[in-house]
Amino acid sequence: MSFNSLGLDAKILQALNELHFTKPTAIQNKVIPSIISGKDILASAQTGTGKTAGFVLPILQNLITKSSAVKPNTEPKKGKRPLYGLILAPTRELAAQIGENVRDYSRYLPIRSLVVFGGVSINPQMMKLRGGVDILIATPGRLLDLVEKNAVDLKSVKVLVLDEADRMLDMGFIHDIRRVIAKLPKKRQNLLFSATFSNEIKQLAQSLLNNPETISVAANNSTSEQVTQYVHHVDKKRKRELLSYLIGTQRWSQVLIFTRTKYGANHLAEQLNKDGIKAAAIHGNKSQGARTKALTDFKDGKITALVATDIAARGLDIEQLPYVVNYDLPHVAEDYVHRIGRTGRAQNRGKAISLVCIDEHPQLKAIEKLIKVQIPQMFTEGFAINPNIKPSPKNKRQKQR
């Protein structure tokens, strides 16, 4: 299959060509024709398989064929644009990233898109909404603020996308989502994307979607074969030392590191900087400016290590990211799949290394059970685990954090 045969406009194909998207991924092959035909979709696929283009491309296609406001090869119509597509995402970074993708894919189309999220001033967003936009990418809370201020009218929306819907539910956005949905017209297309199909997702799908097509590529909770996974057993107190050693001796140029807590992320970033490794932390307590800067510096190669909590890193697409390190194992085994899915994206290969101390053996077991793989071990000379170390009394220290 080629993008040509999926019914996309020449202007969209031209953009894809320049992005070197030569052929659609498996999920794109399945969802693009269904979305063009107007169906509701419940879709799940591994991380890094191109879900974003899977929904953005057919939305652009339908926008230019079905909306009278936009026609390729003609000047954009004057006057306020009715909002056509609404894309909801759980985090600011993910919204920004989807916004970039929309801009890339629509670069030859006369459409307007805008990204809005909280944590930054609302006034510039209100200004930009004045002339209307065709596609709005938003986090739920800020969208509701904008609706309340009459800065955006949702009555014209023809298509709603919930991206990373499972994470939106985890983050407690369900009430906001329901409030947004109540403001949309009854008749519309609904697209729900999720990396996993939990029972909660199925419930949401039932209440939201209208006779949906369920599309699933690869088994639930499977990890990408393009990611080589390792477990490195290590004493808890020596994790930082081991990490610096690996980064230094193996000359890692770019590594995304996960910690469980915001405090842990800050602390580790500071320590790595002291070790001479350029690092920054990204988590929910940082200002939006600091989060954006850390991510840009990381993508541009100005810093080597980005230390993140799960929420900040969900859905992020960092081109050709070679290494992911789990400095702490996640408490929720599914998060492991998302974390390591940050590497090995598109056609690239990646390595995911988990530093595991004795207290974390139960989490490791849960992860291996979920992904149905026993993760191979790696060893580093000088970092053999001390057999005399016992598990610490149940998470006492960790709670204080």
Dihedral angle at the C-alpha atoms of 287, 179, 56, 146, nearest 10 degrees? -50
Name the residue nearer to ligand ADP (CB basis): 104 or 200.
104
Tell the smallest beta-carbon distance from residue 119 to ligand ADP (Å). 22
- Burial string for 349-381 (b: 16+ CB within 10 Å, else e) reads ebbbbbbbbbbbeebbebbbebbeeebeeeeee
Binding site for ligand ADP (CB under 6 A): 21, 24-25, 28, 45, 47-53, 317, 319, 345-346
Name the residue nearer to ligand ADP (CB basis): 22 or 377.
22
Half-sphere exposure (Cβ direction) of 270: Cα atoms closer than 13 Å: 6
Residue 286 as a binder of Mg ion (CB under 5 A): the answer is no
Tell the smallest beta-carbon distance from residue 169 to ligand ADP (Å). 17
E strand or H helix at 125: helix 123-129
Q: Could you tell which of Mg ion, ligand ADP, none binds residue 309, using a CB distance below 5 to 8 A set by kind?
A: none
Q: Could you tell which of Mg ion, ligand ADP, none binds residue 49, using a CB distance below 5 to 8 A set by kind?
A: ligand ADP
Name the residue nearer to Mg ion (CB basis): 283 or 345.
345
Q: Which residue is nearest to ligand ADP (CB)?
A: 50
Angle among Cα 212, 215, 221 to the nearest 5 degrees reads: 125
Name the residue nearer to Mg ion (CB basis): 43 or 353.
43
- Burial string for 230-241 (b: 16+ CB within 10 Å, else e) reads ebbbbbbebbbe
Beta-strand relationship, 305-308 and 113-116: unpaired
E strand or H helix at 213: strand 213-217
Q: Could you tell which of Mg ion, ligand ADP, none binds residue 264, using a CB distance below 5 to 8 A set by kind?
A: none
Name the residue nearer to ligand ADP (CB basis): 70 or 316.
316
Q: What are phi and psi of 229, to 5 degrees?
A: -110, 145
When binding is defined by CB under 5 A, the residue of 11, 30, 39, 51 that contacts Mg ion is 51
Query: Residues in the site for Mg ion, rule: CB under 5 A?
Result: 51, 315
